[in-house]
Amino acid sequence: MDNALGEPQTILLLGGNSDIGLAIVRELLSPNARTVVLACRDTGKGEQAAAGLRHDRLAVHVVQFDGAASNTHEALVRSIGEQYGDIDLAIIAFALLGDGEATSKDVAAATEVAAVNFTGVMSATIAVANRMRVQGHGAIVMLSSVAGERVRAANAVYGATKAGIDGFAQGLGDELAGEGVHMLVVRPGFVHSAMTAGLKAAPFATTPEAVAAATAKGLRSKRRTVWAPGILRVVFMTLRHVPGPIWRRLPLG
């Protein structure tokens, strides 16, 4: 359970190798934190990440997790709760970027991205939310993206999954608010990370650490949504209403 200062003592990161997710964990670790669980597909890489977090007062565990295997998510979350106690904070940070040119034409590639980014994220989030309902407390950080605010042709499948999961998280968050569980939807722009390595940076590009700082601030103030950087909220207020013919000509990547 969160301590008297509202600091999480047990943190679950679904997507345990995510640069942004790990940055959020580091940002939110307090001297009173006791347990971090990194749930990831590549547990070898997860162990490397765990080694960077672990110290004598903090236990860091790595567990196998496949975002696409929705039928395993409920049992996994139940097992984590049984082994490590109440989950104070869950960060939903797993996703596939996909090759935009390929996924808009390749049915199998598009389905793989959708299975992880929407179906998998939705099932894992519901599993976590159900655990927190029983606890009567907890917070969920949903890593969305500005890509879902207005889906670009350059990566339509990825953007569509982010649009869908953003809407789902907002709706579920409104339901959970009356049950002691807080949902924070985080909408980063382009983030310099392993996922985006080799890609041309978009305007207002940011870092995992900057997203983490904005997330921590949003959690403390019980925000519903956070933009990272904040200026993107204003930018997309305009872009959302740009006529289609003009939108298609904008150099947005």
Assess contact for 113 and 96: CB atoms under 8 A. Answer: yes
Q: Is residue 158 annotated as a catalytic residue, yes or no? A: yes
| Active-site annotation holder among 65, 94, 158, 227 | 158
Helix axes 121-135, 156-176, angle to 10 degrees: 10
The span from the CA of 85 to the CA of 201, in Å, is: 41
The span from the CA of 204 to the CA of 128, in Å, is: 32
Dihedral sign, Cα of residue 223, residue 229, residue 231, residue 236: negative
Assess contact for 50 and 35: CB atoms under 8 A. Answer: no
Q: What is the C-alpha end-to-end distance of the chain, expressed in Å?
A: 43
Assess contact for 159 and 152: CB atoms under 8 A. Answer: yes
Q: Mind telling me the catalytic residues?
A: 158
